[in-house]
């Protein structure tokens, strides 16, 4: 026998009926984005590897250890995208979309690729939804985008997730914080893990990101960016909080929530779902007023977030939220002998022309087996055609939800069904 193939480590197949749950998450996200005035942007799955080194930072784990980098046949160094923001920012700069008093508001639904150690909630090909807004720097945009983020979870019926909020300051106030942090950490440098010792010189802020519990304890009382905000950053943060309070969006201030890159400015947030265990982040977002310039564009404020789809699905499942699956609803058209089977194929086509899903039996099975199939398909209606129906010219139509049955003239069945709302059988 030929060798059996398996999906690559860290990837998964999304098959029916579960793909219906994915559609539900994605459709809900599109609807929410629509309400907030965001439009879809699609950028390539791969980009020049250097874009990510520049846009994410070559000292980050993502770039230094996790990228899928390859050389194409023309000798170019490319990488599968490990996240969405860099490609969108590249497109913004390349297409010269910056303008005076104009905001560019886009959303995306993408696969991301990271060579991480696979574990629960962590894949090598993962999926994200996200939004970015370039061109507006006020706290009103921060509030709007956080509200959009939370509206998605609300519309999905998510419960028990927590919004964490922080401010990282800006190039004006960050040096003061960095100095205070560096000197505080210098006292405990030898007790920090080797990775964090390395971070002391390159990017001390990332010490807050360390997963090691001993580093966590050591930095618990270290100076946080929030205590060093300049007047501008402080009033931006205060104004954001007033707006979030006005929107009645609950959040917790987390002074240790950081983003380790210089172009991240001011607002940073995360949504956590405790029951997810080690990988408990549902989503991460922040303002990055330095990114567009970093990529060679004009000085332009920007803000965005990315949220994992896989983790959202697990969180919804843990919360007992039922989601629609592929295939529910629609009509099973049942033919019982040669003539009626032929008619059932044509009738199914008529029903589809009325916008409904219709299916027929391919295997010349009897009534019982076809009714079972209707059940498996989650059909809402069964239309039965047998010798009697063909002779009388009236189909027997059964509402599989109520069990009610009536005769409807064959010529008018498709229209009759089209006028009724077709919802899945329970
Ligand atoms: P990040 O860009 O790392 O802030 O990721 C944003 C969100 O995407 C995270 O909060 C996760 O929900 C999700 N995510 C990131 N990486 C992975 C991965 N390897 N597997 C599954 N989900 C991921």
Task: Tell me the CATH number at 312.
Answer: 3.30.930.10
338, with CB counted inside 10 A (0-12, 13-18, 19+), is exposed
Q: Does residue 182 belong to any structural domain of this protein?
A: no
Last residue of a domain, one of 296, 318, 340: 318
Average pLDDT, the chain: 93
| Cβ count within 10 A of residue 75 | 6
2, with CB counted inside 10 A (0-12, 13-18, 19+), is exposed
Quick: pLDDT tens for 219-237. 888 999 999 999 999 999 9
Which of 299, 269, 296 has the alpha carbon at shortest distance from 285? 269
Quick: pLDDT tens for 46-79. 999 999 998 888 777 888 889 999 999 999 999 9
DSSP 159-225: -S-EEEEEE---TTTHHHHHHHHHHHHHTTGGGS-HHHHHHHHH-GGGGGG---HHHHHHHTTSPPG
Is the separation of the CB atoms in 385 and 403 below 8 Å? no
The dihedral region occupied by 405, where left means phi > 0, alpha psi between -120 and 50, and beta the remainder, is beta
What is the CA(373)–ligand 1 centre distance, in A? 39
Range of the domain at 403: 331-418
CB half-sphere exposure, 49, CA atoms < 13 A: 17
Which of 172, 151, 276, 273 has the alpha carbon at shortest distance from 225? 172
Is the separation of the CB atoms in 75 and 49 below 8 Å? no
Q: Which residue has the higher pLDDT, 170 or 278?
A: 170
Together in a domain, 160 and 80: yes
Q: Does residue 206 belong to any structural domain of this protein?
A: no
Coil, helix or strand for 10? coil
Q: Does residue 33 belong to any structural domain of this protein?
A: yes
Per DSSP bridges, beta strands 331-335 and 358-360 are parallel
Q: Mean pLDDT check: name the lowest of 15-19, 82-86, 102-106, 251-255.
A: 15-19
Cα separation, 260 vs 274, whole angstroms: 23
Q: Which residues line ligand 1 (CB under 6 A)?
A: 83, 114, 116, 121-123, 126, 128, 281-284, 306-308, 310-311
Main-chain dihedrals φ then ψ at residue 208, nearest 5 degrees: -65, -25
Residue 257 confidence (pLDDT): 93
Residue 118 confidence (pLDDT): 92
Atom of ligand 1 nearest to the CA of 270: 10
Together in a domain, 52 and 83: yes
Last residue of a domain, one of 318, 347, 364: 318
Atom of ligand 1 nearest to the CA of 121: 21
Atom of ligand 1 nearest to the CA of 307: 7
Confidence of residue 320 (pLDDT cuts 50, 70, 90): very high
Together in a domain, 107 and 164: yes
Q: Does residue 191 belong to any structural domain of this protein?
A: no
Is the separation of the CB atoms in 402 and 381 below 8 Å? no
Together in a domain, 277 and 350: no
Atom of ligand 1 nearest to the CA of 312: 12
Mutation to probe ligand 1, out of 308, 309, 314 (largest number of atoms < 8 A from CB): 308
Together in a domain, 286 and 343: no
Closest-CA residue, ligand 1 atom 11, reads 308
- Distance of alpha carbon 148 from the chain centroid: 12
Atom of ligand 1 nearest to the CA of 116: 19
Together in a domain, 257 and 341: no
Percentage of the chain lying above the pLDDT 70 cut: 97
Task: Tell me the CATH number at 366.
Answer: 3.40.50.800
Residue 205 confidence (pLDDT): 84
The dihedral region occupied by 103, where left means phi > 0, alpha psi between -120 and 50, and beta the remainder, is beta
Together in a domain, 272 and 412: no
Confidence of residue 189 (pLDDT cuts 50, 70, 90): confident
Mutation to probe ligand 1, out of 67, 85, 112 (largest number of atoms < 8 A from CB): 112
Together in a domain, 163 and 283: yes
For the cut 90, the answer to whether the pLDDT of residue 114 exceeds it is yes
Together in a domain, 271 and 341: no
DSSP 276: G
Residue 194 confidence (pLDDT): 86
Residue 17: cis peptide before it, omega within 30 degrees of 0: yes
Coil, helix or strand for 356? coil
Residue 413 confidence (pLDDT): 96
Residue 420 confidence (pLDDT): 81
Which of 335, 297, 354, 332 has the alpha carbon at shortest distance from 94? 297
Q: Which residue has the higher pLDDT, 199 or 381?
A: 381
Q: Count up the domains in the chain and report the number.
A: 2
- Distance of alpha carbon 341 from the chain centroid: 44
Q: Mean pLDDT check: name the lowest of 193-197, 362-366, 406-410.
A: 193-197
For the cut 70, the answer to whether the pLDDT of residue 262 exceeds it is no
DSSP 254-269: -TT----STT-EEEEE
What is the CA(282)–ligand 1 centre distance, in A? 7
What is the CA(122)–ligand 1 centre distance, in A? 7
Together in a domain, 35 and 165: yes
Last residue of a domain, one of 318, 344, 371: 318
Together in a domain, 310 and 350: no
Atom of ligand 1 nearest to the CA of 62: 3
Is the separation of the CB atoms in 26 and 109 below 8 Å? yes
What is the CA(359)–ligand 1 centre distance, in A? 39
What value does the mean pLDDT take over residues 352-364? 94
What is the CA(128)–ligand 1 centre distance, in A? 7
Residue 260 confidence (pLDDT): 60
What is the CA(378)–ligand 1 centre distance, in A? 33
Q: Does residue 34 belong to any structural domain of this protein?
A: yes
Q: Does residue 363 belong to any structural domain of this protein?
A: yes
Dihedral sign, CA of 337, 339, 341, 344?
Answer: negative
Q: Does residue 180 belong to any structural domain of this protein?
A: no
Closest-CA residue, ligand 1 atom 9, reads 283
Together in a domain, 164 and 272: yes
Atom of ligand 1 nearest to the CA of 114: 19
Q: Does residue 381 belong to any structural domain of this protein?
A: yes
Closest-CA residue, ligand 1 atom 21, reads 122
For the cut 70, the answer to whether the pLDDT of residue 134 exceeds it is yes
Quick: pLDDT tens for 378-402. 899 999 999 999 999 999 999 999 9
What value does the mean pLDDT take over residues 128-136? 98
Q: Mind spelling out the 3-state secondary structure of 21-54? A: HHHHHHHHHHHHHHHCCCEECCCCCEEEHHHHHH
352, with CB counted inside 10 A (0-12, 13-18, 19+), is middle
Cα separation, 399 vs 219, whole angstroms: 64
- Distance of alpha carbon 426 from the chain centroid: 28
Closest-CA residue, ligand 1 atom 3, reads 284
């Amino acid at each position: 026998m030929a060798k059996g193939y398996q999906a690559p480590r860290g990837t998964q197949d999304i098959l029916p009926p579960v793909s219906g749950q994915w559609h539900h998450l994605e459709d809900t996200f599109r609807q929410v984005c629509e309400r907030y005035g965001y439009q879809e942007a699609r950028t390539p799955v791969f980009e020049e590897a250097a874009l990510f080194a520049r846009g994410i930072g070559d000292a980050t784990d993502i770039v230094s250890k996790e990228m899928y980098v390859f050389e194409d046949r023309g000798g170019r160094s490319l990488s599968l995208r490990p996240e969405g923001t860099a490609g969108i920012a590249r497109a913004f700069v390349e297409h010269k979309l910056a303008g005076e008093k104009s905001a560019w508001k886009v959303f995306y639904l993408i696969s991301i690729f990271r060579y991480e150690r696979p574990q629960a909630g962590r894949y090598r090909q993962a999926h994200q939804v996200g939004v970015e807004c370039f061109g507006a720097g006020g706290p009103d945009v921060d509030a709007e985008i956080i509200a959009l983020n939370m509206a998605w979870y609300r519309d999905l019926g998510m419960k028990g997730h927590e919004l964490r909020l922080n401010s990282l300051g800006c190039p004006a106030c960050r040096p003061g914080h960095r100095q205070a942090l560096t000197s505080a950490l210098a006292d405990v440098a030898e007790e920090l893990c080797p990775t964090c010792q390395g971070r002391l010189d390159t990017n001390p802020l990332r010490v807050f990101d360390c997963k090691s519990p001993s580093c966590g304890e050591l930095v618990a009382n270290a100076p946080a960016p929030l205590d060093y905000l300049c007047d501008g950053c402080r009033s931006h943060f205060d104004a954001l909080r007033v707006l979030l309070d006005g929107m009645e969006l609950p959040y917790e201030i987390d002074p240790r929530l950081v983003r380790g890159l210089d172009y991240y400015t001011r607002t940073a947030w995360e949504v956590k779902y405790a029951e997810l265990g080690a990988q408990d982040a549902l989503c991460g977002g922040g303002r990055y007023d330095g990114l567009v310039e970093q990529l060679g564009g004009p000085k332009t404020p920007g803000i965005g977030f990315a949220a994992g789809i896989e983790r959202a699905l697990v969180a919804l499942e843990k919360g007992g939220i039922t989601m629609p699956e592929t295939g529910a609803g629609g009509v099973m058209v049942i033919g019982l002998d040669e003539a009626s089977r032929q008619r059932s194929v044509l009738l199914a086509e008529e029903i589809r022309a009325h916008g409904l899903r219709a299916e027929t039996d391919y295997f010349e099975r009897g009534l019982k087996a076809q009714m079972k199939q209707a059940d498996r398909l989650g059909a809402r209606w069964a239309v039965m055609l047998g010798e009697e129906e063909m002779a009388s010219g009236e189909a027997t139509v059964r509402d599989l939800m109520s069990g009610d049955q009536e005769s409807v003239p064959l010529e008018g069945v498709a229209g009759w069904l089209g006028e009724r709302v077709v919802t899945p059988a329970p």
